[in-house]
Amino acid sequence: MNGEFLRDIQSIAETMDGYQKAARKTAIYPTPVVYPALGLAGETGEVCEKIKKRIRDADGDFNDPEFKKNIQKELGDVLWYIANLSADLDIKLSTIAETNLVKLYDRADRGKIGGSGNNR
C-alpha cells in the first residue's frame, strides 16, 4: 500500500466513525444484531425494487433527479443499518472500509480485480 492510500484511509476513517457515532444516537431497537441485520436486508431490497421499477417504467433511465433523490434516501437507510449492525458487533465502520479497501487494492496490485471468489 502506498502513502497516498494510507492518507486516504485515515481521512475517511474519521468521517465514517463520526457518522457511525451519530447514527448510534438514533438506534433504538429491541434485538441487537438481529434487528439491524433484518433491516439491512429490507433496505437493500428497497434499493433493488426502485432500480427494478426504473427499468420497467422508465427504460432504465437512472439520471432522473427524483429517482436519484429517492435512491439516495434508500442508500442512506442501508448505510444506517450497516453502521448500527457493525456497532452492535463492536466493529468500527472505518475498520470495515479499511479492510475492504486493503483487500481490493491488493487484488488490483496483483491484477485479480476481475473474476470471482472471496479469497482471490
Q: Which residues bind Mg ion (CB under 5 A)?
A: 43, 46, 74, 77
Axis crossing angle, helix 65-88 with helix 3-24, rounded to the nearest 10: 90
Shortest CB 46 distance to Mg ion, Å: 5
How far the first Cα of the chain sits from its last, in Å, is 17
Query: Three cell numbers at 101?
Result: 479497501
Query: Which residue's beta carbon is nearest to the bound Mg ion?
Result: 77
Query: Three cell numbers at 78?
Result: 442501508
Residue closer to Mg ion (CB basis): 74 or 88: 74
Shortest CB 3 distance to Mg ion, Å: 39
Phi-psi region of 32 (alpha: psi -120 to 50; beta: other; left: phi over 0): beta
Length of the chain: 120
* Half-sphere exposure of residue 117: CA atoms within 13 angstroms, side-chain side: 7
Shortest CB 5 distance to Mg ion, Å: 33
Residue closer to Mg ion (CB basis): 80 or 94: 80
Residue closer to Mg ion (CB basis): 17 or 46: 46
Residue closer to Mg ion (CB basis): 66 or 90: 66
Shortest CB 63 distance to Mg ion, Å: 21
